Amino acid sequence: MNISKINLVNFRNYSKLSINLGQNMNIFIGNNAQGKTNILESIMFLALTKSPRVFNESDLIKYGLSKAIVKGKVKDNNSIREMEISLEKGKKSLSINKTPIKKLSSYISNLIIISFTPDDLNIIKSSPSIRRNVLNVQISQLSKVYLNTYNEYNKLLKVRNEYLKVLFTNSIADKNYFDVITEKLIEKAVIIYQIRKEYIDMINLSITDIYDDIDNSKAKISMKYEPNVEILDYDTNKLSDTLKNIFKTNYRKELNNGVTLFGPHRDDFSFYLDEKNLKIYGSQGQQKLAVLAYKLSEVPIFIDKCNSTPVLLFDDIFSELDIKKRNGVLKYVQRNIQTIITTTDLKNIQKKYLKEAFIFEVKEGKIIRK
């Protein structure tokens, strides 16, 4: 899979922009605050329908204007499709080949991406909610079942939390309704737990080898799934019974707190290097390398599950890596995988990787291919 063309209208600092991208390596070079990251952000937005950089999507629209458009031409095996997102007055419209798309699961995965940003490199030190979001974004691209189930779970969670408050203040409120909501929540939770566990198991198949190749070490690295409930067996019936027992036992505790205290919305995961938790014992360099290895471990998973290569987005992370690690990462992207890189200096990239690359200079919102 690759994105062959990107068109922007009033997106961030770009009034109007059209770029043809190469099938393999593309490099955007320029000083800070010139608009390099905005290019990658537009591709993330096109793929995922949201940006990791903003809370209010109106901030994506060029200052003083009311509408922005992001278009991309995506080539995938033998098919070509044009994806488009428009933002106007707080409303977001999605389309593929000019056909409006109403259901998110029908849109997501038409352009699959794996992003590497400075913030991504710090997820080990971040909060559990940020790590959960990383899981959700990536697994949602792999599985429509997960995306739909996760959205349904969140709707049920909101209803259950609201009704906990009702039950706390109203002794004659209908608890049968609450029990029905809890049962439905458990059904969705079981699916989420199972898919997350499977995903992390797949990551662990290759993460050590990739870490070793980049760092030339003999260390063993693993990713550990940490649900906030003890799960001894991921069998559907057994896991469902486990959750039913937890909710029954802790009903009074949840009632007093007014929120659902157990479930995948409170999950976490950690990285371990030679059985030591990297969040506690790892150096900054080891933590960043672990995240890089994790992200690169996703590539074979995406190829297997989606029957297509993902697009890799590297947002100015090479300046944070030494030469050996830089070269180790680049070695992995030389496999007919479209890679889009931003950097302030081409010195951060070995010359042999520049020979066939599309190189673009970014300056004050203008882009020129060199």
User: Of the residues 307, 331, 348, which one is the last residue of a structural domain?
Assistant: 307
Amino acid letter for position 247: F
Beta bridge partners of 92: 87
The Cα–Cα gap between 251 and 368 comes to 62
User: Is residue 179 assigned to a domain?
Assistant: yes
Non-local (6+) Cβ contacts of 24 within 8 A are 334, 336, 337, 338, 339, 356, 357
Give the pLDDT band of residue 318 (cuts 50, 70, 90).
confident
In terms of residue numbers, what domain contains 179? 126-307
Domain annotation covers residue 120: no
Give Dmax (Cα) for the chain: 74
Q: What is the pLDDT of residue 335?
A: 67
Shared domain for 93 and 134, answered yes or no, is no
**Which CATH number is 338's domain given?**
3.40.50.300
Mean pLDDT is lowest, of 64-73, 197-206, 254-263, 353-362, for 353-362
Report the C-alpha gap between 153 and 147 in whole angstroms. Answer: 10
Q: Which amino acid is at 333?
A: V
Cβ atoms of 189 and 263 within 8 Å: the answer is yes
> pLDDT by residue (tens digit) across 167-222?
988 877 889 999 999 999 999 999 999 999 999 999 999 999 999 988 888 899 99
Residue 119 belongs to some domain of the structure: no
- Are residues 1 and 77 both part of a single domain? yes
Q: For residues 158 and 296, state if they share a domain.
A: yes
Taking the C-alpha atoms of residue 355 and residue 349, their distance in angstroms, rounded to an integer, is 11
pLDDT at 334 over 80: no
Give the Cα separation of 309 and 322 in Å (integer).
Answer: 27
Domain identity same for 139 and 257: yes
Between CA 249 and CA 257, with CA 255 as vertex, the angle to 5 degrees is: 110
Task: Please identify which residue in the block is written with the tokens 């429509």.
Answer: 144
Mean pLDDT of 127-133: 95
> Domain with 241 in it: what CATH number?
1.20.1050.90
The answer to the question of residue 21 being in a domain is: yes
Number of domains in the chain: 2
- The CA distance from 192 to 198, in Å, is 10
Are residues 187 and 243 both part of a single domain?
Answer: yes
Least confident of 107-121, 146-160, 317-331, 339-353: 317-331
Write down the pLDDT at residue 365.
Answer: 86
Residue 123 confidence (pLDDT): 93
Identify the domain boundary among 273, 307, 341.
Answer: 307
Q: Are residues 275 and 314 in the same domain?
A: no
Residues 86 and 208 in one domain: no
One-character DSSP codes across 11-79: ETTEEEEEEE--SSEEEEE--TTSSHHHHHHHHHHHHHSS-TT-SSGGGGBPTT-SEEEEEEEEEETTE
- Are 293 and 222 contacting, i.e. CB atoms less than 8 angstroms apart? no
Task: Tell whether 303 and 314 lie within a shared domain.
Answer: no
Could you tell me the pTM of the whole model?
0.94
Residues 162 and 206 grouped into a single domain: yes
Mean pLDDT taken over the chain: 94
Check whether residue 278 and residue 136 sit in a common domain.
Answer: yes
Residue 331's contacts (CB-CB under 8 Å, 6 or more residues apart) are: 213
3-7, 52-56, 320-324, 343-347 — which is least confidently predicted? 320-324
Q: Can you give the pLDDT at residue 171?
A: 74
Task: Decide: 48 and 113 in contact? Cβ < 8 Å.
Answer: yes
Domain check: are 165 and 294 in the same one?
yes
* 118 found inside a domain: no
Single out the residue in 266, 285, 307 at which a domain terminates.
307
4/101 same-domain check: yes
